[in-house]
Amino acid sequence: MVSEIKRVFRFFFDKDPLLVYSPGRINLIGEHTDYNEGFVMPAAIDKKMVVGIAENQTNQGRIYSLDFKEEFAFDINSFGPKKGHWATYIMGVTAQLQQAGYQVRGFDMVFGGDIPVGAGLSSSAALEAAVGFALATVFEFGIPKRSLIHYAQKAEHLFAGVQCGIMDQFASVMGKKNHVIRLDCRSLDFDYFPLNLPDHQILLIDTQVKHSLADSAYNQRRQECQSGVSAAQKTNPGIQSLRDMDIALLEEIKTQINGKVYRRCLYVIQENKRVLDSSRLLELHDINGFGEKMYASHEGLSTLYEVSCPELDFLVDFTKPLSYVLGSRMMGGGFGGCTINLVERGHTELLQEEISAAFSKKFKISPNFYLVTLENGTSLI
């Protein structure tokens, strides 16, 4: 892909580019905790976006997408979102840098990637991070990584119109090879924990479905969590989010909230603890214990938070009797997308064959499979 981006760049712009990559991400554990100011455990992976860039001495951003086989140009001094178009992400990052006072000049760009779109691996966050880093490098802006993360997130909010948390961009920029990141979504403090897997592999199984419930349910879950917080604040004004609550306090307010709100809050409080417990298990190199936390996370997501679906539950349940699968859970917002699985080396092909046959028979669609490794974050090539 790198050599192809170089070749296409020379063809269109007759010069050599500066090359930057930014990876997609997985989330090992800690789902729907980010907007509750809790903890998450993402990692950057070996699927990535690659951007070639050079200054062009004009007032235009001239872009070619390798994946869409499409050209696009915009005036650096006058542009706005183009809803549903891939260039919106690039223009969004450009706008954020300009608003922060950086003098973005005309540039040529070619980009492409091998992050599967729609699988929940954050291809948009990877593109935003790569573009921000490329612009900062080619124009020598010297932007700190934390600022790049915020500009990428704001580009998604303001240009793409998606109110994402900070996790995706953070993991893409700050990833570290063979490590996961434990990120505090309130303070943005973070720590790396080793996830060396000499005997296991991370296999993503993509249901290839996305149920229409996803968007409305996301907003509803946020409201339900806030209802629990509001009830707790009546007697505990210091409570800011579910991050500040424990199960004892939840039990105290149980009569003031409905059963659904109780279950949502219970899941988030338990999941935050699971992330912290999982960190300690990784320090002890207890991969079996970590796998058990993954299964527990899925159980909570399915029964308490109710963001799973039959396809995801089927994939997780299928692995439970298999001694060579240590853990499995849905990953992402829910109602479709991927499960993430810890599988013993030497058994991944067997699992793919067996689960594909069973899944196809039940749902009349074949899942996709992605083996991933943990890699470094956004960088120059």
Active site residues: 168
As a whole number of angstroms, the distance between CA 74 and CA 294 comes to 45
3-state secondary structure of 205: strand
In this structure, how many other beta carbons lie within 10 angstroms of the beta carbon of residue 77?
Answer: 10
Q: Are 31 and 301 contacting, i.e. CB atoms less than 8 angstroms apart? A: yes
Give the pair of three-digit tokens for residue 177: 């090879």
For Cα atoms 13, 17, 19, give the angle at the middle one, nearest 5 degrees. 145
As a whole number of angstroms, the distance between CA 163 and CA 186 comes to 16
Q: How many CA atoms lie within 13 A of 34 on its CB side?
A: 21
C-alpha to C-alpha distances, 247 to 29, 40, 187, 265, 272, nearest whole angstrom: 20, 19, 22, 9, 12
As a whole number of angstroms, the distance between CA 255 and CA 236 comes to 16
3-state secondary structure of 46: strand
Strand 39-55, strand 18-29: pairing: antiparallel
Site of tokens 């963001």? 307
Cα dihedral 10, 16, 18, 22, rounded to 10, equals 30
Nearest CA-CA partner of 91 in 55, 60, 122: 60
Residue type, 122: S
192 φ, ψ to 5°?
Answer: -95, 140
Nearest CA-CA partner of 131 in 69, 68, 49, 73: 49
